[in-house]
Amino acid sequence: MSDAFCKISGYEANELIGVSHNVIRHPDMPKEVFKNMWETLKLGKTWFGEVKNRKKNGGYYWVFTKAEPDINIDGKQIGYYAVRQDITAQKEVEELKKNLEQQVRDRVSEIVSLDKEIQDTQREVVFTMGSIAESRSKETGNHVKRVAEYSKLLAIHYGLPEDEAEMLKQASPMHDIGKVAIPDAILNKPGRFDKLEREIMNTHSQLGYDMLKYSDRPLLKMASIVAYEHHEKWDGTGYPNSLKGKDIHIYGRITAIADVFDALGSDRVYKKAWELDRILNLFKEERGKQFDPQLIDIFFENIDEFLEIRDNFIDE
């Protein structure tokens, strides 16, 4: 019995040797999970899963478990062994995110229940919520302003009606609203994410959609699409649903270009702003890969208008 296992469970080694694993089984864990684990091991396969265990003092801890059959030199299965990683903090963060998501959803529900006479206030709140999401990641309010203007400009040149393009301008500031539920330690990490951190960060698209999808208001319905699909890629390698080509809503395709153009040209905690030539070269390389090729062509055909917007909303 390892010292690490004793430390996390609160038991001494002599209290665990020869004792059934049930002593640390938490009542919240479904029996089906363990049934699946044992069936997998009996087949000689490796089992992976998240397990909530009970401490000696009645508390709990979570572990990511990799369990494998123990095979002797004759190829006979004589037992099993497991490697466990403590993920208690991660699971507690997930619970906090759920609670925060519910709070934001409750707040959005209050907003969308307002009468028609205060729709202008609703638009202002939408923009403010988008700004809050950006400010948590140490980005300026001008980021959402520029993304809004870029989105409308692309929409107009693409051929969307003026009123629809204007609504996209109002909705696009909500593209990263899901970031309100991402922990600060990840959101503002100055270096590269590890695999787990990247997975958590990528959940912001789904979280944003879940916060907004319940509304029947056209503005928030559009915002939910933008939040959900602005990280999908033309070639199908994006997230959260690996949508491809025109299966990605035009609102998501437009906002993706607006967001990336501004993000690359701005200082962030993890990078310095790129030079314009470097950004434009990337856009040429990603035409038909990350980005809708038609929209990229529109972008380059009207690059002076985009640069004018950028120059009109310079960060302090």
Catalytic residues: 179
Longest dimension (CA), the chain: 79
Burial class for 20, CB neighbours closer than 10 Å (0-12, 13-18, 19+): exposed
Residue 136 neighbours by CB under 8 Å, 6+ apart: 179, 180, 184, 187
Under a CB-based contact definition with an 8 Å cutoff, are residues 157 and 302 in contact?
Answer: yes
Q: Show the tokens assigned to 142.
A: 């001008």
Core vs surface per residue 264-292: b (16+ CB within 10 A) or e: bbbeeeeeeebeeeebbebbeebbeebbb
Phi, psi of 5 (to 5 degrees): -65, -40
Q: How many angstroms separate the Cα of 69 from the Cα of each of 16, 72, 77, 85, 210?
A: 21, 10, 6, 18, 40
Q: Are 257 and 289 in contact (CB under 8 A)?
A: no
Closest residue by Cα to residue 137 from 283, 253, 271 = 271
Handedness of CA 165, 167, 168, 173 (dihedral sign): positive
